[in-house]
Chains A and B, each alone.
Chain A
Amino acid sequence: MSVKLKDMIQSPQIMSSGHRMCAGCAAPPIIKIMGFALRGPTIICNATGCLEVATTIYPQTAWRIPWIHVAFENVAAVASGIVEGINAMKEKGRYKHEHVDVIAIGGDGGTFDIGFGSLSGALERGHDFVYMVYDNGAYQNTGIQRSGATLPGQETTTSWAGKAEPGKRERKKPIAEIVAAHRIPYVATVDPFHYRDFITKFRKALEVEGPAFIHAFSPCPRGWRSESSKSMELAKLAVETGIHPLYEIINGDEYIMSAPSKNLTELKPVDEYMKLQGQFKHLFSPQWEDFRKQVQEQVTADWERLKKKCGIA
Chain B
Amino acid sequence: MNVPIPASKWRVSDEMTAATKSSKTTESSSNIEGLTGDAAIARALKQCDIDVLSAYPITPQTIIVEDYQRFFADGEVKTKVIPVESEHSAMSACIGASAAGARVATTSASAGLALMWEVLYCASGLRLPIVLAVANRALSAPINIHNDWSDSYGARDSGFIQMYCQSCQEAYDTTIMSFKIAENHSVLLPAMVCIDGFILSHNVEHVELLPDEVVRDFIGIRDPAQVLDPDKPITIGPICFTDYYFEVKEQQDRAMKEVFRVYKEVESEFEKISGRSYGIYETYRTKDADIVLLTHSSPAGTAKAVVDALRDRGERVGLLRLKLFRPFPAAEIGKELASAKAVAVFEKCLSFGAAANPLALEVRTALYEQPKRPLVTDFVIGLGGRDVPPTVIVEGYNKTKQYLEKGKAPFYETLGVRK
Contact = CB atoms under 8 A, between A and B. Distances in A.
A220 B118 CA distance: 29
A66 B52 contact: no
A13 interface: no
Given A81-B54, A85-B100, A66 B86 contact: no
A261 to B, nearest CB: 33
B398 interface: no
B85 A68 contact: no
Contacts of B233: 63-67
B52 to A, nearest CB: 5
A121 to B, nearest CB: 3
A88 B236 CA distance: 21
A5 interface: no
B84 A82 contact: no
Contact of B235 (A42, A63, A96, A122): A63
B100 A118 contact: no
Interface residues on B, range: 35 or more
Nearest to A14: B233
> Which residue among B90, B95, B235 has the maximum number of chain A CB atoms within 10 Å of its CB?
B235
Contacts of A45: 96
A68 B236 contact: yes
Given A77-B89, A118-B89, A88 B95 contact: no
Contacts of B52: 81, 84-85, 88
Contact of A66 (B126, B229, B244): B229
Interface in B335-370: none
Interface in B304-321: none
A69 interface: yes
Interface string A86-120: 11110110111100100000000000000001101
Interface in B233-261: 233-241, 244
Contacts of A122: 89
> Which residue among A71, A84, A118 has the maximum number of chain B CB atoms within 10 Å of its CB?
A84
A78 B200 CA distance: 31
A157 interface: no
Nearest to B235: A61
Contacts of B244: 58-59
B82 interface: yes
A64 to B, nearest CB: 6
Nearest to A87: B80
A71 B228 contact: no
A41 B97 contact: no
A13 to B, nearest CB: 13
B93 A43 contact: no
A168 B184 CA distance: 52
Interface stretch (A23-31, A49-57, A175-183, A284-292): A49-57
Given A56-B239, A80-B96, A82-B100, A120 B85 contact: yes
Interface of A: 41-43, 45, 52-53, 56-59, 61, 63-71, 73-74, 76-82, 84-89, 91-92, 94-97, 100, 117-118, 120-122, 124-125
Interface of B: 49, 51-52, 54, 78-80, 82-86, 88-90, 92-102, 104, 118-119, 122, 126, 221, 228-231, 233-241, 244
Given A61-B235, A70-B122, 11 more contacts: A52-B239, A63-B233, A66-B228, A71-B118, A77-B93, A85-B51, A88-B97, A89-B51, A118-B86, A125-B82, A125-B83
